[in-house]
């Protein structure tokens, strides 16, 4: 079954879940538990060492602080937030094997190098936005006015086609085929005559079919001359031919309706106003005194009672002892750190793969995609190295703007990441110009990131399948003696900020259960 990359990621590992009884299906979806996190008992000043000042580490420190723990967060970078990072003027990045990059965007402009989107059902992400006072706005993930662009393939190649045209043409042809088949009793779906008739009526409405159940196009796919005042009734084009659509690859996985259909990408979606790292910044304010920046961990040692962390800061190697440790380091990073974990945990750390992914932000003098092309937010999909172009869901009708010029994955991202920074930009501009010729005149400055080449991240997010969920993942669910593992990689919400939050709460609950129990056993602790 061909499914998209993202869909693969989000559905992988769930095939083993038994279908629930039909009775459950009759119930309403329960609201996710988005509310204050209230645990009883006191941490009694136990010292918890947290590795990594990303969302999960800071959230753990924030919640543990409320419970009476003493936390120290060791962070290798000189900034907090980890992958929750928005690129603004002055942001710097030195990828492995690349020169230092400094963002030269105008003040007030940014792009989200990490997570861009908050699904409406990620209740914990929205909960922290509310608790921390981070205002949100709609992330406009679905935009029928954006394009499909199939490079070098078929009769519709090298042509930017509004998504609504393909969506409505394909919907039209498919419903036409099925309506005809049902009508001519070619399909026996075990339906009554009345139900079959209802379905035909539905298909007509769904596909915009005419009275003869034929697809003829409608204004759903847009006008070639807009409707307006007076005698401007609007003019509609003919639909594309189905065979042309197929042969141009526009029904291939590159163009599946993933952006609308997956649970994670269904509208409504949100983003933090001003950049998603506003969430990280708001958390950082709560735990700022606990963070030690520029501390690169080199060893994690479980002790008979407690844990010892070895790290380097600018003054040299240091050691820090604590009662327990919460390690939120991404596994490719952790894999290079000395530890005395069990062989199962060690294997998991070394073998859980991470997503190879890259993004490039491109600043333009003018929001030509809005002014010239009426594209406000949303995503253009391509079959070339760009994979996607994201249009900003903020500052609509503004002067300048930053597009995400590419957002790619796997082999494509690997290939692009191997280019020099200058070559990456050239690629983004050349391929982007095929879709938006305005690039040439309006481009100002760009900034690219390859997450797997970014020190202290070394990947986009953890990738699991059904097998590794049962083996490698399970090995890390329990603490390795005094060390707990947290982060998006310790959840079924990989790649999402919600994973960091859910994981932090989960590990705080486990730590607190252990400590409050222990306190009874070892009152001196």
Q: Which of residues 15-74 bind its own copies (CB under 8 A)?
A: 17, 19-22, 24-32, 34
Distances (CA, A) of 314 to 94, 224, 311, 385: 18, 63, 10, 40
Stretch near its own copies under the rule CB under 8 A, chosen from 290-298, 321-329, 374-382, 446-454: 374-382
Q: How far is the CB of 312 from its own copies (least distance, A)?
A: 31
Give whichever of 95 and 502 is closer to its own copies, judged by the CB atom.
502
Spatial separation of the C-alpha atoms in residues 163 and 221, rounded to whole Å: 8
- For residue 450, the minimal CB distance to its own copies (Å) is 28
Residue 136 exposure: Cα atoms within 13 Å on the Cβ side? 21
- In whole angstroms, the minimum distance from the beta carbon of 285 to its own copies comes to 18
Residue 506 CA to residue 150 CA, distance in Å, equals: 44
Residues 451-470 that bind its own copies (CB under 8 A): 469
Query: Which of 5, 77, 83, 204 is in the footprint of its own copies by CB under 8 A?
Result: 204
State the Cα–Cα distance between residues 91 and 114, nearest whole angstrom. Answer: 14
The reply on whether position 505 binds its own copies by CB under 8 A is yes
Asked if residue 434 lies in contact with residue 400, where contact means CB atoms within 8 angstroms, the answer is no
Closer CB to its own copies, 48 or 60, in the complex: 60
* Residue 129 binds its own copies (CB under 8 A): yes
Is residue 282 involved in binding its own copies (CB under 8 A)? no
Choosing from 239, 361, 401, 432, the residue that interacts with its own copies (CB under 8 A) is 239
Q: CB nearer to its own copies: give 187 or 419.
A: 187
228 lies in the site for its own copies, by CB under 8 A: yes
448 beta partners: 360
Output the smallest distance, CB 376 to its own copies, in A: 4
Q: C-beta of 283: minimal distance to its own copies in Å?
A: 16
349 alpha carbon, distance to own chain's centre: 22
Q: Which two tokens stand for residue 305?
A: 């009672």
Length of the chain: 525
DSSP state letter for 337? S
Interface of this chain with its own copies, residues 396 to 425, rule: CB under 8 A: 396-397
Which has the closest alpha carbon to 31: 122, 114, 113, 148?
Answer: 122
Measure the CA angle with vertex 35, ends 33 and 40; round to 5°.
105
CB half-sphere exposure, 129, CA atoms < 13 A: 23
503 binds its own copies (CB under 8 A): yes
What six digits make up the tokens of 482? 């005094």
Residues 6+ apart with CB under 8 A from 304: none
Which one of 154, 253, 274, 294 is in contact with its own copies (CB under 8 A)?
A: 253
What is the rounded CA–CA span in Å between residue 498 and residue 507?
14
Q: Which of 223, 293, 407, 456 touches its own copies by CB under 8 A?
A: 223
Rank residues 69 and 270 by Cβ distance to its own copies and give the closer one: 270
Among 45, 94, 102, 233, indicate the residue that binds its own copies (CB under 8 A). 233
Binding of residue 304 to its own copies (CB under 8 A): no
Is residue 315 a contact point for its own copies (CB under 8 A)? no
CB-based contact 53:297 (threshold 8 Å):
no
The Cα 409–Cα 155 span in angstroms is 27
Count of residues of this chain found to bind its own copies when the rule CB under 8 A is applied? 136
- Residue 525 binding its own copies, by CB under 8 A: no
Q: Which of 85, 148, 240, 311 binds its own copies (CB under 8 A)?
A: 240
Q: Is 247 in the site for its own copies (CB under 8 A)?
A: yes
Contact region for its own copies (CB under 8 A) — 184-192, 275-283, 331-339, 445-453? 184-192
Q: How far apart are CA 49 and CA 61, in angstroms?
A: 9
């Amino acid at each position: 079954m061909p499914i998209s990359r993202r869909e693969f990621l989000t559905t992988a590992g769930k095939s083993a879940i038994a279908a629930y009884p039909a009775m459950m299906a009759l119930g309403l979806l329960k609201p996710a538990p988005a509310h204050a996190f209230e645990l009883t008992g006191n941490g009694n000043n136990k010292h918890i060492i947290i590795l990594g000042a990303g969302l999960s580490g800071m959230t753990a420190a924030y919640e543990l602080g409320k419970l009476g723990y003493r936390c120290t967060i060791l962070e290798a970078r000189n900034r907090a937030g980890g992958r929750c990072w928005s690129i603004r003027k002055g942001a710097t990045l030195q990828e492995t094997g690349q020169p230092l990059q400094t963002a030269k965007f105008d003040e007030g402009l940014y792009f989200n190098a990490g997570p861009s989107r908050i699904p409406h059902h990620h209740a914990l992400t929205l909960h922290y936005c509310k608790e921390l006072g981070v205002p949100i706005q709609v992330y406009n993930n679905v935009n029928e006015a954006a394009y499909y662009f199939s490079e070098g393939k078929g009769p519709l190649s090298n042509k930017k086609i509004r998504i609504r045209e393909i969506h409505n043409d394909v919907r039209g042809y498919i419903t036409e085929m099925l309506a005809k088949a049902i009508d001519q009793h070619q399909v026996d779906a075990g339906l009554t005559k009345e139900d079959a008739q209802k379905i035909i009526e539905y298909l007509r409405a769904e596909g915009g079919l005419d009275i003869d159940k034929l697809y003829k196009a409608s204004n759903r796919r847009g006008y070639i001359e807009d409707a307006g005042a007076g005698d401007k009734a609007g003019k509609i084009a003919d639909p594309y031919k189905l065979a042309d659509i197929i042969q141009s690859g526009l029904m291939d996985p590159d163009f599946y309706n993933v952006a609308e259909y997956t649970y994670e990408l269904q509208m409504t979606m949100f983003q933090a106003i001003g950049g998603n790292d506003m969430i990280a910044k708001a958390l950082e304010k709560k735990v700022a005194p606990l963070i030690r920046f520029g501390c690169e961990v080199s060893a994690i040692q479980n002790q008979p009672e407690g844990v010892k962390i070895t790290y380097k800061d600018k003054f040299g190697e240091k050691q820090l002892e604590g009662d327990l440790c919460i390690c939120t380091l991404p596994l490719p990073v952790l894999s290079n750190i000395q530890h005395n974990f069990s062989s199962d945990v060690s294997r998991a750390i070394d073998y859980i793969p991470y997503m190879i992914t890259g993004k490039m932000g491109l600043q333009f003098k003018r929001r030509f995609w809005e002014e010239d092309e009426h594209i406000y937010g949303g995503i253009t999909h391509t079959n070339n190295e760009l994979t996607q172009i994201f249009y900003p869901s903020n500052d609509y009708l503004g002067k300048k703007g930053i597009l995400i010029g590419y957002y790619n994955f796997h082999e494509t991202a690997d290939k692009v990441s191997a280019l020099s920074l200058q070559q990456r930009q050239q690629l983004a501009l050349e391929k982007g110009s095929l879709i938006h010729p305005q690039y040439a005149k309006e481009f100002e400055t760009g900034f690219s990131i390859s997450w797997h080449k970014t020190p202290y991240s070394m990947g986009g997010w953890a990738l699991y399948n059904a097998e590794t969920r049962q083996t490698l993942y399970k090995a890390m669910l329990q603490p390795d003696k005094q060390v707990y593992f947290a982060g998006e990689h310790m959840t079924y919400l990989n790649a999402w900020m919600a994973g960091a939050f859910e994981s932090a709460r989960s590990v705080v609950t486990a730590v607190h259960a252990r400590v409050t129990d222990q306190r009874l056993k070892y009152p001196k602790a």
